[in-house]
Structures are given as structure tokens and as C-alpha cells.
Amino acid sequence: MNMNPVLILKFGTASITKPNGEPNEPVMVDIARQVAALHPHYRIVLVSSGAVGAGKGLIQNYRGDITQRKAAAAVGNLLLLNQYSRFFSIYGISIAQSLCERHHFANRDQFLQLKQTYEELWANGIIPIANENDVVSNRELRFSDNDELATLIAAGFGAESLMLCTSVGGLLDASGQIIRRVTTFDEGVFGVVRPEKSAAGLGGMASKLTFAKLATRLGIRVVIFGLNEPDGLTRAMRGEVGTEFVAQETTLSARSRWLGSGSLTVGRVRVDAGAVRALGQRRSLLAVGVRDVLGEFAAGEMIEIIDEQDVTVAVARARLSSETLTQQLHQQNVDVANASDIVLL
């Protein structure tokens, strides 16, 4: 079995497409060259956006509604994968397509099937290229963006590093300079984020920071980097460019890591200080400690547990739906999440 460390590389729409949405061939050629250099040393998953942008030119009177986006993705995925296939073949590397949906991560058995498939691809020297399955995903089932998908894969596979490519090349401080190294996620880190996000993609810097925070707490090094300078990826891997978010020490088991990767966007519950203390003592979360139910979720789905200051304290599998929980708030002895299904962050 290939025991090289796992490396997740995420390239956003703005990184790999021209302003009109077409794939930017010189950039993709350069990605293939740099990834090929890393290939002998890592088990790589490449998470690539850009399918909708690549395909929308073939959809008449494109306005960007959900049905048109799905049609554009169906066309664009093929165009994008053909390009990657061409450019990686120069280096004798084959690629595979992996279209992911949220339930592939929320369901342990499906996740293990995904893991076995990737292991088989890696054993044959093949790089899976993952993207959301836009053709069937609806608004409720969507990943918030491919930063989330990349983080879920990184957490589920216990990646050593998660590399997030962005057009700005890193996290910028107030004067526009790249912050080279972040060791703790305090208010100052989120405070430097400008509110805008790229016109091409869904995810902005705030999204990247949210997922970088989760990944580092699960023991994964995160680097936000750009391709604007020569060898941007390989130099970012060496810590020479971009912003590095240092991995925290963790002893989480594979199951806990997977639980902790189970998505931050299905729903959230805000809990009181007593519940936070109980969680810290490895106790279950009871309805009596829940102050607010935010978003909709079904029993069995992953939820985020936040404290009264809106800081994420844990991720858990809900035993109740949001609807049932809302009806049973403040009731005694109602289990919202069992201790064995809670991962403290």
C-alpha cells in the first residue's frame, strides 16, 4: 500500500479560468508541471473548480439560474477534465474524475467506499480530480464551496497538507502585504479579511479561513497561496510563499477526524456555558443546554455546536432533526448528540 502522506490541492475558478470563464491553458499546464513534481512523494487529490465557467459559453442565453448552472457544469466538467488529462499525460500521469456530494461525507459507509476508491487510484499512480456534482446537487445539498469540499477530503483522509490556491496569493494584512505565518485564529486574523469575493467563484477569504481553522484543529497544515509567481505551488509547499496556517497537535482517531470533517454548513446549535462545560467533560449534549437552533438539519446529519460568543466548540452528529429539537428545547433528558458522536475542536 502507498504510504506517502496525503496532499489536497484546491484550485478555484478565478485561478484556472480566464475572465470569460474559459479554462486558462497556460495556467493549467503549469499546474500539471508542478503537481507532477510532487506526485512521487504524495498521495494527491486535486479539487478543481471551474466547470460551470468552462461550460456556460455553450448554454444559450446564459443567465446563471440553477438549472443553467447544472447544464453548464455537465458540459464544463468534460471540457475541464479533458484539459487536465492532456496536460498531465505529458508527465505520464493519468487522472480520474470524482464527483462528490455532501452525503458521501455525512454517511460513514459511503465515505469508506470513497476512501477505498481513492486508495485504488493512488495504488495505480492515478490522481483523482474532485469537484462537486453540480449536475444533481440542489441548494440544500450543496457544499458551501470547493474550499469546504477540499477540507472535508483533507480531514477525512488525514491529509498532511491542504493547499488552497487563490488569486491574491495569501492572507493580506491591512496594508496589502501577505501574512506569512498564522499560529492561532484570533480576532485579528479574521479582522483583516476584506468583505469582497471573486466574481468568478463562490468562496472568499473568510470561507478559506473558516475551513483553514477547522483543518488546523484536526492536525492538518493549511497554506493559502497563488500561482502569480514562478513555481507558486512548489514554493508554497516549502513554506517560501503564501500564508501558512500551522497544524495543531491532535490525537484524534480516524473516526473522530471523519466526524469532525462532517461539514460546517448543515446546521448549527448555540449552547449555553453549562453545556460547553459538560462537553469539555466528554458528556452528551442535552436539549436543556441549547439556546438557539440555526438552520435546518435531519437526525443523523452533522451539526456545528457554537457557544454564546458564536465560537465553534464542537462538531457532532445530531440525534434529532432541527424541527424536533426546536419543539423540545429546554426539556430535561433529551439527547441532542451522544458523547461518542461529538468531536471537540
**Cα(209)–Cα(164) distance, integer angstroms:** 10
Q: Model confidence over 225-260: pLDDT tens digits?
A: 999 889 999 999 999 999 999 998 876 666 566 666
Q: For the chain, how long is the longest CA-to-CA vector?
A: 64
Taking residues 284-306, report their average pLDDT: 86
* Higher per-residue confidence, 188 vs 124: 124
> Which letter does DSSP use for residue 41 in this model?
G
Distance CA 149, CA 10 (A): 9
HSE-CB of 162 using CA atoms within 13 angstroms: 32
pTM as predicted: 0.78
Task: Give me the DSSP letters along 86-151.
Answer: HHHHTTT--EEEEEE-THHHHSHHHHHHHHHHHHHHHHTTPEEEEEE-TTT--TTT--SSHHHHHH
Give the chain's count of helices (H) and strands (E): 13, 15
Report d(CA 242, CA 171) in Å as an integer.
8
CA 120 vs CA 124, 126, 299: distances in Å? 7, 9, 32
The predicted pLDDT at position 194 comes to: 61
Location of each CATH 2.30.130.10 domain in the chain = 266-344
**Which set of grid coordinates corresponds to residue 287?**
436539549
Q: Which helix (H) or strand (E) holds 155?
A: helix 146-156
For 69-107, write each residue's pLDDT tens digit.
Answer: 889 989 999 999 999 999 999 999 999 999 987 677 767
Task: Please list, residue by residue across 211-235, b when 16 or more beta carbons sit within 10 angstroms of its beta carbon and e when fewer do.
Answer: bbbbbbbbbbbbbbbbbeeebbbee
Q: How far is CA 55 from CA 59, 95, 290, 329, in A?
A: 7, 20, 45, 47
Answer for the pair 259, 305: CB distance below 8 angstroms, yes or no: no
Residue 4 has pLDDT above 70, yes or no: yes
pLDDT at site 176: 87
| Residues 209, 131: Cα–Cα separation, whole Å | 20
CATH architecture assigned to 266-344: Roll (2.30)
Q: Which residue shows C-alpha cell 480516524?
A: 254
DSSP secondary structure code for residue 61 in this structure: T
**φ/ψ (deg, to 5) at 96:** -130, 150
**Arithmetic mean of pLDDT, 331-337:** 89
CA distances, 34 to each of 14, 46, 87, 100, 332 (Å):
18, 12, 11, 25, 57
Rounded to 5 degrees, what angle do the CA atoms 339, 342, 345 make? 130
Give the closest residue to 307 by CA, choosing from 331, 341, 333, 280.
280
| Domain boundaries 6-255, corresponding CATH code | 3.40.1160.10
pLDDT-derived band at 202, boundaries 50, 70, 90: very low
C-beta atoms surrounding 152 within 10 Å:
29
Please name the helix (run of DSSP H) or strand (run of DSSP E) that holds residue 245, with its range, or none. Answer: strand 243-245
Contact 258, 155 (CB under 8 A): yes
Give the model's confidence band at 277: pLDDT under 50 very low, under 70 low, under 90 confident, else very high. very high
Tell me what pLDDT residue 255 has: 58
C-alpha cell at 233: 505551488
DSSP-assigned letter for residue 75: H
Residues of the chain with CATH 3.40.1160.10: 6-255
